[in-house]
Amino acid sequence: MRLLADNLYYEWPQRDGNVQAVAGFTAVFDSGMPQILCGPSGSGKSTAGLLLAGLIEPVSGSVRLNDDTPSVFSSRAAFVFQFPENIFFEDSVVEELNKIAGANRAGVVRYLTSLGISFENIASLHPFHLSAGYGRMVAIALQMAREPSLLILDEPTIGLDWRFHNRMCKVLKEWSNDARILIVITHDLDLMRALDGNACVLAGGRQSWKGPTQALLNDKQLLDQYGLLP
């Protein structure tokens, strides 16, 4: 399975003129191994992720999952925002689960258990009463349980403590396989190291470097150049 971004452009509308976030972004993301999308602050990572998931339409350029356009593949794509509380709408975790088409309880329970969270303990809680870290993990587990063909996660490890961070790395690594594409937007070098795979570095709204994640991690000069050193 292959996701292709072809010469994407996108501008966020502002009162005092548009801000160009993505400018000539061309990249290929394959299934079979995790794909890292990284780059300095303001390089267009999150916007690129939204374009790849088909959640926003580019000003120009196109996105294809194999031969499908976003309008065809969007039901098989999932995107989890950096602050996932923005996508909770129901009054309890279990109601959130029931509203997400294609997400089954057994899958959610399995992913949450792998992360070290008991679904039974949080099922009746209001999503806004979850801690920020738990909210992020619940949002990710809910989308994973849909078993989408394309899963894009925006900074999945921020705010996780040392134990949950480790478990999240493992769960994501295991989720990635030949039948689906996992793209992780992150500046977390520990997560990149754990996921391995390929990295696409954005700068100025376009792909500036691409290669094996380990090659990026082993090149301190490159990490510094792209603002990736902690």
Q: Which residues of 18-54 are buried (b: 16+ CB within 10 A; e: fewer)?
A: eeebbbebebebebbbbbbbbbbeebbbbbbbbbbbb
Q: Of 67 and 161, which CB lies nearer to another protein in the complex structure?
A: 161
Q: Of 32 and 159, which CB lies nearer to another protein in the complex structure?
A: 159
Binding mask 13-52 for another protein (x = CB under 8 A): -xxx--x--------------------xxx----------
**59-98 binders of another protein (CB under 8 A):** 82-83, 85
Least Å distance between CB 120 and another protein?
A: 14
**106-135 binders of another protein (CB under 8 A):** 129-134
Residue 77, SS3 per DSSP: strand
Least Å distance between CB 159 and another protein?
A: 5
Stretch that binds another protein, among 105-113, 174-182, 212-220, 221-229 (CB under 8 A): 221-229
Contact between 200 and another protein per CB under 8 A: no
Could you tell me how far CA 92 lies from the centroid of its own chain? 24
Strand partners, 154: 185
Least Å distance between CB 179 and another protein?
A: 27
Contact between 164 and another protein per CB under 8 A: yes
Nearby residues of 120 by Cβ (< 8 Å), 6 or more positions away: none
Contact between 161 and another protein per CB under 8 A: yes
Q: Of 1 and 123, which CB lies nearer to another protein in the complex structure?
A: 123
Q: Of 31 and 92, which CB lies nearer to another protein in the complex structure?
A: 92
Q: Which of 92, 159, 203, 219 binds another protein (CB under 8 A)?
A: 159
Q: If we measure between CA atoms, which residue out of 155, 150, 186 comes closest to residue 75?
A: 150
Contact between 12 and another protein per CB under 8 A: yes
C-alpha angle 22-26-29 in degrees, rounded to nearest 5: 115
Q: Which residues bind another protein (CB under 8 A)?
A: 12, 14-16, 19, 40-42, 82-83, 85, 129-134, 137, 155, 158-167, 187, 227-230
